[in-house]
Structure 1
Amino acid sequence: MAGSRWIKPEVYPLFAAVGAVVGICAMQLVRNISTNPEVRVNKENRLAGVLDNHAEGEAYAEHRFRKFVRNKPRQVMPSVNNFFSDPQLK
């Protein structure tokens, strides 16, 4: 019965939060290993040394999510923020 001491409904949000963080870390590790131009896994690419491939680095840095949020407002809920901060809407 030692396992039932830890598996309680109050602990489920903690499991969910830790699972989400581990998933995000794993996704970032896979992204870095597979697409980062600075990381070379196989021996042929490691022998190439330092490459000046700026286009590949630019493509890695400017990924789809960054392009998606570039022109978005930097607020979580802009309509609520504007409602409480804009005097002309009241």
Structure 2
Amino acid sequence: MAGAASWSKIWIRPEVYPVVGATGVAVSFCVFSLYRNITGNPEVRVTKEKRAAGVLENFDEGRDYSQHKLRKFVHGMRPEIFARINAFFSDPPKE
């Protein structure tokens, strides 16, 4: 039990929580990305039957995969993080 006590003294402290949180966010993003690519990507074929099909001409499915909801939402926006602050400091005041 000495090993368990030393483990808890090292890792269960408030200073370690941000590291565990950041690692959890990174791992969950990686799992989401892998799951999305394996289940939805038309180029990835997991089963033997789909691999035997060879090269498929499925342009509509590829376009649907690449133009997901987030990309459609961001499509018309300017590539700025703080658009209002940038406009405040860069545009002259209108009188």
**TM-score relative to the length of structure 2:** 0.85
Separation of aligned partners in 1, 2:15 and 2:89: 35
SS of the counterpart of 1:58? helix
Separation of aligned partners in 2, 1:34 and 1:14: 30
C-alpha offsets along residues 22-47 of structure 1, whole Å, 9 cap, x if unaligned? 11100000000000001111111111
2:85 equivalent in structure 1: 80
Separation of aligned partners in 2, 1:69 and 1:45: 33
- Offset at 1:87? 2.5
Are residues 1:11 and 2:22 paired? no
Q: Which contiguous aligned blocks of 4+ residues in structure 1 show a shift greater than 6 angstroms? A: none
**TM-score relative to the length of structure 1:** 0.89
2:57 equivalent in structure 1: 52
Q: How many residues are paired up?
A: 89
Instruction: State the AA in 1 paired with 2:6.
Output: A
SS of the counterpart of 1:38? coil
Separation of aligned partners in 1, 2:13 and 2:88: 41
Separation of aligned partners in 1, 2:92 and 2:6: 58
Q: Which runs of 5+ in 2 are unaligned?
A: none
RMSD of equivalent CA atoms:
1.3
Larger Rg over CA atoms = 2
**Percent of paired sites with the same residue:** 48
